[in-house]
């Protein structure tokens, strides 16, 4: 990465009319609201090229000091998926047995979630997302990363949107503890696993909880000063 500030002209510029800008904004909202978290996946395969291009889109995300503190591990083998599912369900079983507490379990009840996680084996792809606390330059010197959670969060949001744009369904899953993922995915301890993104085509009989369609209104999420 360059250590000297060197400005270049803005490489891509869009000069839409206000009418076109408004149309595009509304069209994207109509598309975005068709994204639904899915827990039922088809065995239908998804070409690696599709996933790779969505990861490239995620890699365009802004990040602290442009250090891009993320790493994505694609999990495709049945063996690895089984290990992930077994580890996740061990913790989830305790979680739903009371470890979560009454208030949390009551909040989850309308979503119908359970300790069993068959989607971790059913979906063709699992994407394990790692956050890098620091990196190395070309000489091997340690480089501190900045705004890591924020940067990885933005990249993950773009990745989910890119997968949706490709016609795929996704599920964000955060098993805890997740330290086993470093060893399974051959990643250094300096990287923190933050999420497993399950992705693929939805099963023909896939359902979603009605409660998940309830979104806050614009008035609830917006204010002006």
- Residue 218: is its pLDDT beyond 90? yes
**For residue 111, with 0-12 CB atoms within 10 Å meaning exposed, 13-18 middle and 19 or more buried, which class applies?**
middle
**179: CB partners within 8 A, 6+ apart:** 193
Report d(CA 159, CA 156) in Å as an integer. 5
Per-residue pLDDT, 137: 82
**Quick one: pLDDT band at residue 175, thresholds 50, 70, 90?**
confident
- Residue 3: is its pLDDT beyond 80? no
In order of start, what are the domains of the chain with their CATH numbers? 36-209 (3.40.109.10)
């Amino acid at each position: 990465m360059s250590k000297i500030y060197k400005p270049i002209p803005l490489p891509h510029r869009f000069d839409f009319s206000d009418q076109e800008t408004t149309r595009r904004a509304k069209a994207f909202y109509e598309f975005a609201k068709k994204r639904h978290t899915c827990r039922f996946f088809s065995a239908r395969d998804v070409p690696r090229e599709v996933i790779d291009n969505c990861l490239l889109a995620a890699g365009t995300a802004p990040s602290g000091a442009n250090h891009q503190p993320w790493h994505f591990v694609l999990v495709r083998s049945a063996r690895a998926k089984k290990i992930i599912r077994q580890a996740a369900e061990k913790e989830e079983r305790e979680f739903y047995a009371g470890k979560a507490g009454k208030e949390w379990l009551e909040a989850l009840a309308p979503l119908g979630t359970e300790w069993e996680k068959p989607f971790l084996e059913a979906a063709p792809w699992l994407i394990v997302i790692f956050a890098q606390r620091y990196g190395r330059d070309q000489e091997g010197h340690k480089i501190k990363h900045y705004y890591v959670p924020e940067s990885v969060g933005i990249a993950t949001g773009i990745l989910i949107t890119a997968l949706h744009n490709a016609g795929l369904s996704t599920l964000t899953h955060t098993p805890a503890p997740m330290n086993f993922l470093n060893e399974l995915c051959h990643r250094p301890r300096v990287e923190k696993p933050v999420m497993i993104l399950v992705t693929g085509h939805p099963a023909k009989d896939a359902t979603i909880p009605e409660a998940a369609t309830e979104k806050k209104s614009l008035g609830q999420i917006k204010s002006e000063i």
